[in-house]
Structure 1
């Protein structure tokens, strides 16, 4: 085999050896975070077990510096033009989005996850993180016009929909029986890693 053939053969072998690693990196990059809603069954140091709303049980690894947030109740009157909110909603019979929950972001979190995208609170739900342009009272609730990255979204918020805001929590809030909402990322070994947890406190449960 001439020199050119040898070099081509070595290049092919190098590429073949790199493909499995490349595939792993690509898979890690495209694997979306797993959103988990459920009740803490146990917690031991940074290891937490959650019984999910779907009926399964998952083991989670909390980051050493895991962020913990609790929630405080608000009212629809607190949702004003200029507020930056996140709202899960699903289409009503008329096609207009009807809110399932509203999270009023603290000012320091303005812009978090801005956009309008699919959500998994219900099979047909979406999430809109956006600035409130206008709020109009109606017979069936408050009608909000939201703007996210130049896209305008209209959402009706029924009077009985939970409205909450985030407040600081602590590791002590993560205890068996507490309800949680979190996003977990999957490590190469299959471990579910968690950087932030929203936990129930004083009867206010994560509605998102």
Structure 2
């Protein structure tokens, strides 16, 4: 894989496989077909081909297939999170052992179980990713969530300025020039990128990843 593509690799909160594998970039270099993440802005749409200006500065071409899943990213707020909601959140540790959220995604019912667990994350140095079901939700004292997952539980503080978004089923009508996206793609041995799933900002929303 060339250096420019290496620069596009990153982990997504909503992606179970990437989160579970640890160092996605190193594995993708050795294994064509490994799913990797790309984020950026759509600059062109033609048939089954997207042109995307990536956040690292490169422009890449990504093919769509009938199996490509498209999801809409819409703004949410803390009131949209209920006990039992399934969420994903990148966070930083605090002195008392709890976590401080950097961003929160609220998953639709069909994505319950995606990436479940708590693990290191590389959004920023020292960050973690927690995907699980909300237990307690306290909004009157610091907006604190209790997130449960198989084998554990985390208490997560969600500051007022932390972005919260919903993921919802979408379609290709969301894929237009100027739309911000995060994509889960595979790279073939000849370097072709094929989208497995795309989270596309709706109504000007930028996915917070």
TM-score range, shorter chain: 0.7 to 0.9
Q: Secondary structure in 2 aligned to 1:63? A: coil
Higher alpha-carbon deviation: 50-59 or 177-186 = 50-59
| Contact 1:40/1:177 (<8 A) preserved | yes
**Offset, 1:95:** 6.0
| Contact 1:33/1:184 (<8 A) preserved | yes
| Contact 1:46/1:64 (<8 A) preserved | no
CA distance in 1, matches of 2:162, 2:145: 14
Question: 1:28 and 2:19 equivalent?
Answer: no
1:1-208 map, 5 Å: 27-28=30-31, 32-92=34-94, 96-137=98-139, 141-208=142-209
For the pair shown, the structure with the greater C-alpha radius of gyration is: 1
Structure 1 unaligned blocks of 5 or more: 1-26
Aligned length: 181
**Offset, 1:138:** 5.8
**Offset, 1:156:** 0.9
**Offset, 1:172:** 2.1
The structure-2 alpha-carbon separation of the partners of 1:138 and 1:56, relative to structure 1 and needing over 3 Å to count, comes to farther
Please report the TM-score for the alignment, with normalisation by the length of structure 2.
0.76
CA distance in 2, matches of 1:62, 1:119: 28
Alignment root-mean-square deviation, CA: 2.4
**Offset, 1:58:** 2.0
* Residues 122-162 of structure 1: per-residue CA shift (max 9 Å, x gap): 344322110112122365x3111212211222211011222
Q: Which has the higher helix share?
A: 1
The structure-2 alpha-carbon separation of the partners of 1:37 and 1:95, relative to structure 1 and needing over 3 Å to count, comes to farther
The structure-2 alpha-carbon separation of the partners of 1:50 and 1:119, relative to structure 1 and needing over 3 Å to count, comes to farther
**Offset, 1:32:** 4.8
| Contact 2:118/2:130 (<8 A) preserved | yes
The structure-2 alpha-carbon separation of the partners of 1:46 and 1:120, relative to structure 1 and needing over 3 Å to count, comes to farther
Q: Secondary structure in 2 aligned to 1:68? A: strand
Please report the TM-score for the alignment, with normalisation by the length of structure 1.
0.76
